[in-house]
Structure 1
């Protein structure tokens, strides 16, 4: 089979999205991604690379590669079900690894099914090794959750740059070079949600990049914490509780009935605090790392994310 892998073009994104939905619905059940938008929103983001696989000129699969400063990951990876087992996934992973290496990302990873030996063995061929589980968790909302902290969207554009830099200081204190300024810009520029902050206005203690509603990575009736972090130091547990509560207030204000987030269980204290706050695991996955190192998955780290 003649397989071409190259960056997706704008005119090919709809076809890539259709393949993505078909592939994951085949595995997870019909309508697995409902009215969420992932392929299109990430394609438009400046910190991602979208790769397509083509067979006879038609989109046969794709993957998205995301850069968070010194950390980068790829996924989701999807191939048209009728073409499974033809080597398309192998070509896409090889191309994604080339992008990760070209970026100079010191810590690389992916998220995959925790129960799939086939997936684990496949990605191990490229130097990715399974670490701890990532729990995709959620809790229902009453709609009466208090509004806590503040939101970046209300900050005048001229003042946002300094605030975004302050968020980068928070992540750098957790893992050198970890930087999610691209996620912040994507949410604000595409009107996908907002960035919730706690702490002092000129020196936030923590922040959360949140999606809400249809056309985002959350979907109807849902708010989703794409990334959240609290600066390490005294009082970090209380600050984390405050940030999670602020996310719940944002979700309720957005009209969501449920708040969803991800946490790697190697961040044990964060996981325990989420359980105490009423969150329960909807589905587990596993992160695979290259090289086989923990990165920022440490017991004391208060950080929410998942590499789906």
Structure 2
């Protein structure tokens, strides 16, 4: 579809956040056939916290001053992903999403990311086909999993260190811990770094980062979103990303990470939600054995085509919504 010159793409302005959030709810709620589309996701906010984060750019599509849609583009070091990409339902099939995507590809090029990805509806040929036009290829399914933690959420074994919350550390210790997180993720994919994502969580007070240490190094960590104005909202502890160090004993380290995440959710009185790629089969099976239930299936699409860090042998959580 040819570019529509009346539609202009540029950064989303702060005074447009409320309307952009309304469009996000209306677009997803309409597509999913909800009786009241604006009730989609309840009090959860997938846009405002990202707009306030240093590692995210939010693009807007406008026509004659009217906001038509938006797209959030996030950078985790050498990896980038985008979404939610939404357009007001009365503007569907006008090429708005394609123009937002063209501008998104320029952002990724400027960032020089090694690869990028997205999460979309596996059952929608229209969505999959749109992203294929921009070089994205569907990979493994991603399961959205939920669990209500029950006491006791975890038990401490002899000789095992107690999990630590990043917010409880001194500034110097926080800096060291964030560096250790980057070292762990870079072992899964060169340059993968959630440092700015973690700093945004602390600065905005929209969640917590549980840290699981072994005898000599960081074994695992998770970026959990919870609280008013967060991606999890007041009642959900949303695990946006989590990873356990690979190698011998990785399954046990992942179990300890789940223990720490569940303890956090239990303390906050929240339901747990996490996405896991079905390419990471052992993490999926370990979650199922704990009582996690699948609530939805989506598909990860990546450019260039490949597994990225969601591959067998990696103990990682995340869904790129």
Q: Does the TM-score normalized on the shorter chain lie above 0.5? A: yes
**1:179-209 superposed Cα distances (whole Å, 9 cap, x missing partner):** 1112211111111111001114872111001
Task: Report the counterpart of residue 63 of structure 2 in structure 1.
Answer: 55
1:144 Cα deviation from its structure 2 partner: 3.9
Task: Report the counterpart of residue 169 of structure 1 in structure 2.
Answer: 183
1:296 equivalent in alignment to 2:309: yes
**1:278-305 superposed Cα distances (whole Å, 9 cap, x missing partner):** 1111000001111111111211100001
Structure 2 stretches of 5 or more lacking a match? Answer: 156-161
> Matched residues in 2 for 1:304 and 1:285: separation?
14
- Residue among 210, 220, 241 paired with 1:196: 210
> Which secondary structure state, in structure 1, belongs to the residue aligned with residue 276 of structure 2?
strand
1:220 Cα deviation from its structure 2 partner: 3.0
Task: Report the counterpart of residue 46 of structure 1 in structure 2.
Answer: 54
Task: Report the counterpart of residue 159 of structure 2 in structure 1.
Answer: none
1:20 equivalent in alignment to 2:24: yes
1:274 equivalent in alignment to 2:282: no
> Matched residues in 1 for 2:92 and 2:216: separation?
51
Contact 1:15 1:59 (8 Å CA) reproduced: yes
> Matched residues in 2 for 1:294 and 1:187: separation?
27
Contact 2:211 2:222 (8 Å CA) reproduced: yes
1:87 Cα deviation from its structure 2 partner: 0.9
1:145 Cα deviation from its structure 2 partner: 2.0
Mapping 1:1-308, distance limit 5 Å: 2-28=6-32, 29=34, 30=37, 31-146=39-154, 149-200=163-214, 203-256=217-270, 258-308=271-321
> Matched residues in 1 for 2:154 and 2:286: separation?
19
**1:11-46 superposed Cα distances (whole Å, 9 cap, x missing partner):** 222221111111111122231110011111100001
**1:111-156 superposed Cα distances (whole Å, 9 cap, x missing partner):** 1001001111111111001000010101122254248511001001
Contact 2:46 2:84 (8 Å CA) reproduced: no
Contact 2:69 2:87 (8 Å CA) reproduced: yes
Cα RMSD for the two superposed structures: 1.4
Contact 2:141 2:297 (8 Å CA) reproduced: yes
> Matched residues in 2 for 1:201 and 1:236: separation?
14
> Matched residues in 2 for 1:20 and 1:270: separation?
31
Contact 2:11 2:60 (8 Å CA) reproduced: yes
TM-score, normalised with respect to structure 1: 0.96
> Which secondary structure state, in structure 1, belongs to the residue aligned with residue 81 of structure 2?
strand
Change (3 A) 1:201 1:190: farther
Structure 1 stretches of 5 or more lacking a match? Answer: none
Q: How many residues align?
A: 307
Contact 2:242 2:316 (8 Å CA) reproduced: yes
